[in-house]
Each structure stands twice: as structure tokens, then as C-alpha cells.
Amino acid sequence: MVRDTTISPPATDQGAMDTESGVIDVTRLRVALARLSRRLRRHSLAGLTPTQLAALSTVEQSGPLRLGDLAAAEGIAPSTLTRMVAVLEELGYVRRDADPRDARASTLAITPEGHETLEHLREEGTALLAQWLMQLGPEHRAALASALPALEALTESETHGQRPAK
């Protein structure tokens, strides 16, 4: 059985949010999620920087993309993107193709090797997270299971530009 718990608010009420079952310390939640994300990335980068990994994932999900569109999607300067794409090309994770709509431009597409690398990293991250979860007690695992729909709602609201459902 999962008990509702109250998370104490931070020193200022700025990071606290009242709920029916207590107070969520938003700052504490943000820090915990960021640290967990960093731990997962650190163990599964395959020699890529987090920025390179994010760009490769974006190309996989949204590609083929023009370089300018990738720079905009990742929020990085075109000069930085050019160097980063050169590394991803050298590793064989992406390829440039002529843009069929504009002969002067090119698009970036993921290669089978790039796709396989991302799949391997995802599988490795999932296995690592499963190991960490097994170190928790049953009550903490149940609490995480209960929180999963809310966390998914937050990611979906960001993806679709909507507010999370209540």
C-alpha cells in the first residue's frame, strides 16, 4: 500500500506547491530528476557528449533534418552544430544527403549504426535503472510506480505544448 506523504516546503514558498495530499517541494523534485538523469547519461554516453547524443536522438526522431532546423531544435549555434555533425559523421552515426527541395542545402539522416547505437544506449540505461530500482525498498518502488502516470503526463504536456491533465 502506498501512503500519501507530505514533502516539506523549502525555506521559501516559491518552490512549494500544495496538493490534496500534501506539499510538493518542486525544487527538490527538479534536483532529484536532474541528478537521476545525469547519472543515467554518465553511464551510457558511448563516447558522445550529452549535446551530441541529444542531437543524434533528434535526428532519429525527426529526421531527415536540415542543419538549420537541427540547430534550432537543439538550441545551439550553427558553428557549434557544424563541428558536432562532423564528429557524428566521422563516427558513422549520421549522413548528409542533398536536400531534394534545395540543391544548395543538405539534410541530415541517421544511419543504421547511429540507430543501433541509440538502441543499445537505451537498453543499457533501462537495465541500469532497473538495477537501481531493485536497491530500493518495496515502499519506494510502489511510490515510483504510482508517480509514473503523473511524470508521463508532464512529458506529454511538454511534447504537445499542453498543460498536464489534472
pLDDT at residue 166 greater than cutoff 60:
no
83-129: pLDDT as tens digits? 999 999 999 999 999 888 888 888 999 999 999 999 999 998 899 89
Give residue limits of the domains in the chain. Answer: 1-43, 50-111
pLDDT at residue number 86 = 94
pLDDT at residue number 22 = 60
Q: Which three cell numbers stand for residue 50?
A: 550529452
pLDDT at residue 141 greater than cutoff 90:
yes
What is the average pLDDT across 28-53?
Answer: 83
pLDDT at residue 43 greater than cutoff 70:
no
Distances 130 to 34, 124, 136 between C-alpha atoms, Å: 18, 10, 10
Q: Which of 127, 131, 130, 108 is nearest to 119 (CA)?
A: 127
3-25: pLDDT as tens digits? 344 444 444 445 555 555 567 88
Distance (Å, whole) CA 40 – CA 36: 6
Right CATH for 50-111 from 3.40.50.11610, 3.40.50.2000, 1.10.10.10, 3.40.50.720: 1.10.10.10
Task: Write down how long the chain is.
Answer: 166
